[in-house]
Amino acid sequence: MNRRILGSISVLAIWFSVAPIVHAQSVNRAGTTQTTAFELSGLARNGYLANQGIPSAGLLSFDLRSGRVAAEDIVKAGIRANLVSPDTLNDQGYIRAIEYNLTDTPTGDNGN
């Protein structure tokens, strides 16, 4: 029981420390709002960047783990799809947020 409580507290602490990064909205030089890292990650996972060469769902997860696709590739696809500005490639926080959003995390409880 104590391990579950400690685990829950740990997850909440991580979430609250990363949530501002994940949900931060960027503004490009023209002053217009662009797609957030959270939104771009969801679009990639759901196949909306397939025309730009980014696989979706399980294949995306596999390609990320194997190194065939990187967060930078997803940002480049977002640039080609006019979802983010080219300056986004220089934003390491945005790229880390893409990585975080697309990292598979276990959701099952194995009793430990």
With respect to residue 109, please indicate whether it lies within any of the assigned structural domains: no
Q: What is the pLDDT of residue 9?
A: 63
Contact by Cβ (8 Å): 55, 66: no
68 is a domain residue: yes
Question: Which has more pLDDT, 109 or 95?
Answer: 95
Q: What is the CA radius of gyration of the chain?
A: 16
Tell me, what amino acid is at 46?
Answer: N
User: Is 47 inside a domain boundary?
Assistant: yes
- pLDDT tens for 75-87 read 999 999 999 999 9
What sections of the chain are H helices per DSSP?
2-23, 37-45, 57-66, 71-80, 92-102
Crossing angle (nearest 10°) for helices 37-45 and 71-80: 90
Q: What is the residue range of 48's domain?
A: 2-25+33-102
Assess if residue 74 is contained within a domain: yes
- With beta carbons less than 8 A apart as the criterion, state whether 95 and 75 touch: yes
pLDDT given for residue 95 in this prediction: 95
What's the mean per-residue pLDDT of the chain? 77
Residue 108 counted as domain residue: no
Does 51 map to a domain?
yes
Mean pLDDT, rounded, for 18-46: 68
Confidence band, pLDDT 50/70/90 cuts, at residue 21: very low
**Res 109: pLDDT:** 45
Domain count, the chain: 1
Determine contact, residues 44/69, Cβ cutoff 8 Å. Answer: no
Query: Is 112 among the domain residues?
Result: no
Q: Would you place residue 34 in the very low, low, confident or very high pLDDT band (cuts 50, 70, 90)?
A: confident
| 111 occurs within a structural domain | no
For residue 37, pLDDT over 70 is answered with yes
